Amino acid sequence: MNRKLLRGEHVVSTWRDITLTSHRVWQSAREGSSAALTSIPVAAVQWVRLGRHHLPWLLWLAAVTAVLGIAALEYDRTITYGLFGVALLLMLLYGTSRRLVLEIGAGTGTIVVQVVGEGASVDAAVEFLYQVEDRRLVHGPDADARSGASASGA
């Protein structure tokens, strides 16, 4: 989806499928044959969140399965190999369940990006959020009051 910029608007930064401009934050998401565009004015941004989501119980279950495999080694090697295979599968599932989640919220609307695995750079996501916060503070609801106070104080 190509998005036309407003008069005087310019792109500040882009991270994954989120674009920050001088006026808005927008996300162009594609899933199969459908596409969605979410746009939030920078002044309306109320909060940002960056976190990791994972399923640690998969790792614990893999450890228990591996211990059971070691215990079964004395009785039957076929069972041991099967349990080690299950433990490896559980570790693989744990690795693919790790997600970096970035959210930008305005009222009831949110922009959410989930990046699977370790391919996501946390530093790049944090830098993008700093830029969103900086823009939000510059264009926030009390930006006019701050600029008016500094002009009257001069």
Q: Is the dihedral of CA 121, 1, 37, 139 positive or negative?
A: positive
Tracing tokens 């994954």 back to the chain, one arrives at 16
Give the whole-angstrom CA distance, residue 118 versus residue 76.
Answer: 37
Q: Note the pLDDT tens digit of each residue in 40-97.
A: 888 888 888 888 888 889 999 999 999 988 888 888 888 889 999 999 999 998 888 8
pLDDT at 143: 53
What are the distances in angstroms from CA 108 to CA 8, 46, 72, 85? 28, 10, 53, 45
Nearest to 13, CA basis, from 122, 133, 132: 132
Are 3 and 28 in contact by the 8 Å Cβ rule? The answer is: yes
What pLDDT is attached to residue 65? 92
Please state the domain extents for the chain.
11-49+121-139, 56-97
Mean pLDDT along residues 99-124: 77
Res 140: pLDDT: 63
Q: Hey, what are 18's tokens?
A: 């989120």
Global pTM reads 0.62
